[in-house]
Structure 1
Amino acid sequence: MSTITIAQHSAHPLTVSRLGYGTMRLTGPDIWGEPANRPEALQILRTAVEQGVNFIDTADYYGEDVTNRLIREALHPYSSDLVICTKVGATRRPDKSWVPYNRPENLRASIDNNLRTLRQEQIQLVHLRLIGHGDVPFDEQLGAMFELQQEGKIQHVGLSNVSREQAEAGLKMGSIATIENMYGHGQRTTLRTPHGDNQGGEEVLDFCEQHSIPLIPYFSLVNSLPKADSQVAEVARRHHATEAQINLAWLLHKSPWILPIPGTSKLAHLRENLQAAAIQLSADDLAFLG
């Protein structure tokens, strides 16, 4: 599996395999509660690492705290090359809704909670997830993140759910290690998320390529356009592969600055997803996919 380097110009760059794993699907229904099959969830995490995955994406509002506790149970003590990335800026209500949790004191509480539940002294990479409009200015949120970085609780700061304009503003404030946005073959335009956020597609990827910042796409296996579905299905038939595998292969071919983190709650699907790294798309395939 090829690799990608996060924060390559910093004093502490992180080099990881180009297929990571997103843990959100390990939770119960509506991304809430314990997994339906806890032993399988733990085995997925262990198998991913055994197969060369060393970038795992989580959040303390998955569950709540479910994925962090699963990661700790399955993988602690962590190997030296394992990068665990988390997100702050949101929380969950008892009705399972998603709401901003982005005041400086909220962000600090979230970081402390992640450190505790993951059993870490420092989190290597944390994304500031922008959710809704709220009443906390962007620069105040990001400024709090950089303060936590200066205190040593965070090694690298990233952004999530951002437009190109927000990414540019963030870079003027400090070093942005990664950007995590919704992106995939079927969703490359500027998107309006369910939380009312505008987040960039191709224009954010272009920004990332210009500044050597990895783009971490989430929900990358969701095809929102019927035409995209048919194109991916046709290429999947040519390669005797699944549509999910072709989606992942397309991301890996699209740009060397993309770090996919496909998630699943099934061990068989994890193995299928990892096989996508070996699929070689031809120039004709890529032209057909657009």
Structure 2
Amino acid sequence: MHRSSLDCVHATCDGQAAHSSQPQQRISVNTYSPSQDQFTPAHCDRTFNRIGYGAMQLAGPHVWGPPTDRAAAVAVLRAALDAGVNHIDTSDFYGPHATNQIIREALHPYTDELTIVTKIGFLRGADQSWIPAASPQQLRDAVHSNLSNLGLDALDVVNFRAPGLDGADGSPIGEALAVLAVLKKEGLVRHIGLSNVDAQQVAEAQRITNIVCVQNHYNLVHRGDDALIDTLAAQGIAYVPFFPLGGFSPLQSGALNEVAAAMDARPMQVALAWLLQRAPNMLVIPGTSSVAHLRENVAAGALRLDAAALQALNAM
């Protein structure tokens, strides 16, 4: 069935993994589906399988231009849906435009179950720079650009990517959220999220409109958002860590390697499993341009870290 309405099954899951002291077996890419672990944010009519896919790596080097192998990029997207992913994170400033155009080529017309989350608030300069773009007209233009390149009449979720290239800078975001609230009333945006924000900015946005998700930098070794994650969990708001595997420099840790070896898994699978067990509102969106790597990422959802493994990882 292809998308014709906002109707969806409102399945929820508390996301709490049962801890076991028994030895773990190598996880299978054939027996686990992301649909086994879901989260429905408050004020949202979309249910997310907690393992999603981040499309940034589908663009060329430095998130600029088209990929070297477009057919491979299309294959990864189709494999993601075949593996049970129902949540793709993207933006029209990836490429720019290239990633959204590949998503459309690979997956349009979209199934009812697929949720596409996009970001606005930045543009790309001709020198490949990242330029804040949050005037009312720039935000409106960005929504229309995402709609056009994705081939949609309305965007499921739009995250406002707040200013600050090295993390949240605390600047006011109310004006931008007011613009998004108008676009929501116009039917061009269904749900609103935030990216690169701190707790005060989240509260400022919530005084204007409902927020369904927050996307910030967070992983095993970058845990500045611990308090915010817990606050959002209590409110039923999804938290989506970007760079869940470390960012441009992959996570490297002896403790991570030891836990992975004991579980007969790969270190990056353990890092994803730790995120999923960190909080029930956590949605992970690891990106890759490889079908084999995609399947490994998805299979990480089957891992259950016991108390000893969690203690070792939490001490990193």
> What TM-score, normalized to structure 1?
0.91
Q: Distance in 2 between matches of 1:143 and 1:104?
A: 9
Task: Find the counterpart in structure 2 of residue 193 from structure 1.
Answer: none
Task: Find the counterpart in structure 2 of residue 278 from structure 1.
Answer: 302
Aligned AA (1:23): A
Asked if the contact 1:4–1:18 (Cα under 8 Å) also holds between the matched residues in 2, the reply is: yes
Secondary structure in structure 2 of the residue aligned to 1:58: strand
Aligned AA (1:174): T
Sort the Cα spacing of 1:27 and 1:224 in 2 relative to 1 into closer, same or farther, 3 A: closer
Sort the Cα spacing of 1:225 and 1:107 in 2 relative to 1 into closer, same or farther, 3 A: closer
1:228 Cα deviation from its structure 2 partner: 7.0
* 1:222 counterpart = 2:257: no
Q: Distance in 2 between matches of 1:41 and 1:224?
A: 19
1:132 Cα deviation from its structure 2 partner: 2.9
Question: Equivalent of 1:182, from 213, 217, 229?
Answer: 217
Sort the Cα spacing of 1:6 and 1:159 in 2 relative to 1 into closer, same or farther, 3 A: farther
Question: Equivalent of 2:183, from 125, 148, 158?
Answer: 148
1:51-84 Cα deviation digits (max 9, x unpaired) = 1000000000000101100100000000011000
Q: Distance in 1 between matches of 2:174 and 2:100?
A: 28
Unmatched runs of 5 consecutive residues or more in structure 1: 190-200
Higher relative contact order (CA 8 A, sep 6+): 2
Q: Distance in 1 between matches of 2:248 and 2:258?
A: 16
Structure with greater helix share of residues: 1
Task: Find the counterpart in structure 1 of residue 270 from structure 2.
Answer: 246
Task: Find the counterpart in structure 2 of residue 3 from structure 1.
Answer: 37
Task: Find the counterpart in structure 2 of residue 196 from structure 1.
Answer: none
Q: Distance in 1 between matches of 2:272 and 2:98?
A: 26
Task: Find the counterpart in structure 2 of residue 76 from structure 1.
Answer: 108
1:131 Cα deviation from its structure 2 partner: 2.0
Aligned residues: 276
Task: Find the counterpart in structure 2 of residue 259 from structure 1.
Answer: 283
Sort the Cα spacing of 1:43 and 1:126 in 2 relative to 1 into closer, same or farther, 3 A: same
Secondary structure in structure 1 of the residue aligned to 2:269: helix
* 1:123 counterpart = 2:155: yes
Question: Equivalent of 1:170, from 193, 205, 214?
Answer: 205
Aligned AA (2:140): R
Q: Distance in 2 between matches of 1:224 and 1:263?
A: 12
1:226 Cα deviation from its structure 2 partner: 11
Q: Structure 1 residue runs of 4+, over 6 Å off?
A: 223-228
> What TM-score, normalized to structure 2?
0.83
